[in-house]
Amino acid sequence: MTALPAPDRDAAAALWQEFLAAHPDAATLAPDCAVEFYGDSAELADELLALVIEGTKRATAGLVDDYLRAGEALPRIGGYWIACDGRGAPRVVQQSTELRIGLLESVDDAFAWDEGEGDRTRSDWLAGHRRYFTRALAARGVAFDGSQPVVFERFRVVWPPEHAD
């Protein structure tokens, strides 16, 4: 696995400004946005971003603790974020449409399907996310035991127009 680079913040700011120029009302709702990656490696970022761009992936899940450790606010409904590819280039602007905090086991079939990964079943989703969270937490010396709260987020792609929902 290749480590994630720093995101290209200048390019992300330019993408955000393009979006705001086309949607000036968005600036009053969210004057800025987060710039993030999917996953914990360049390869995983590219794989998951490809699912977003093709329209398969419209949900994601992350540990609450990951946001807190990074000094980031938890997502909020209506908030925007830019997803970068594995090289750090910003590719799409997304808007959160639904949020829920719960335990990993609380995922339902519809959310697993909307996340668009693997065979899109709940059982495959659980297995994949257990592996991911176990790996991510082990890298910091913490054991994943299923008691850590998870942010379940649905989103829509809003920019650029060729990828927007």
Rounded Cα–Cα distance for residues 165 and 163 (Å)? 7
pTM over 0.85: yes
> What structural domains and CATH numbers belong to the chain?
9-159 (3.10.400.10)
Question: Which uninterrupted H or E stretch holds 95?
Answer: strand 90-102
pLDDT in tens, 125-164: 999 999 999 999 999 999 999 999 999 999 999 999 999 9
Radius of gyration of the chain measured on its C-alpha atoms: 15
The DSSP-derived string for 6-46 is ---HHHHHHHHHHHHHH-THHHHH-S--EEEESSSSHHHHH
**Cα-based torsion angle of the residue sequence 110, 113, 114, 119 in order, rounded to the nearest 10 degrees:** 170
Task: Give SS3 for 101.
Answer: strand
pLDDT in tens, 46-93: 999 999 999 999 999 999 999 999 898 999 999 999 999 999 999 999
pLDDT in tens, 81-118: 999 999 999 999 999 999 999 999 999 999 999 999 99
